[in-house]
Amino acid sequence: MIRVVITAGAAGIGRAVAEAFVADGARVAICDIDASAVADFQAANPNTIAHVADVTSEAQMGAFFDVVEADFGGADVVFANAGTSGPAGLIEDLEFADWQACLAANVNGAFLTCRWAARVMRPAGRGLIVLTSSTAGQFGYPFRSPYAVAKWGIIGLMKTLAMELGPAGIRVNAICPGAVEGARMDHVIAIESATRGVSPDAFRAQYVAGTSLKTWINAGDIAAMIRFLASDAGAKISGQALAIDGHTETLDP
């Protein structure tokens, strides 16, 4: 029975991935900053570990990982999924605090998660780490520079860790979702459309138009990719930034 640990696992992509692994019979542990979402997840999935933790807090993440180690004795799959969309605006209009908060949630949270994963997986000689980047980690993204920088940073971290940890039998990959349906994307569209002076409906249509398949992505699409990576079929895949996005052509519609 594999042991799966997921940050930001109580809602959205994280929850879809967590519940896919629960359905597969895996032992699953999640953390999330949203206490009500954690409670809802735990009620729906009573045989999991579910903790409230802020991924930017070394102390809170350490407490979560201590519980996981005590119960699971390690981890086979770690999904460093937590992040935030950050502010929207021209670089000259952004607040430094908003910039710092975006990088902290996306990059610092990934560091803390991957550091722990490496520490428990290296002695075992195996494991899979998956990080959440974005198509914003592969393209320029006007009006969203903090998010783009954070997600490009995730790709750099993934590539480096794949090299560091590969000799120990540990695979490291990143997923790069496109526009994923849900509350988070609704928020992104609201702030971007306001910044650019475009109606939310028009901006939503532009996101779809920017993909070759002219489609949105759903959280189940992401879960399917991570289950594949964790399967025997994905056993030789490492160091890859895997886009699940309908083939993004541009992020500047």
Known catalytic residues?
A: 147
- Name 36's Cβ contacts closer than 8 Å, sequence gap at least 6: none
Q: Which long-range contacts (CB under 8 A, 24 or more apart) does 160-164 make?
A: 161/114, 161/118, 161/129, 162/238, 162/239, 163/239, 164/118
Bridge partners, 127 (sequence order): 170
CA distance 80 to 77: 10
Q: Locate tokens 């290296």: which residue?
A: 122
For residue 27, CA distances in Å to 5, 31, 72, 77, 185 come to 9, 14, 8, 10, 29
Cβ atoms < 10 Å from Cβ of 45: 19
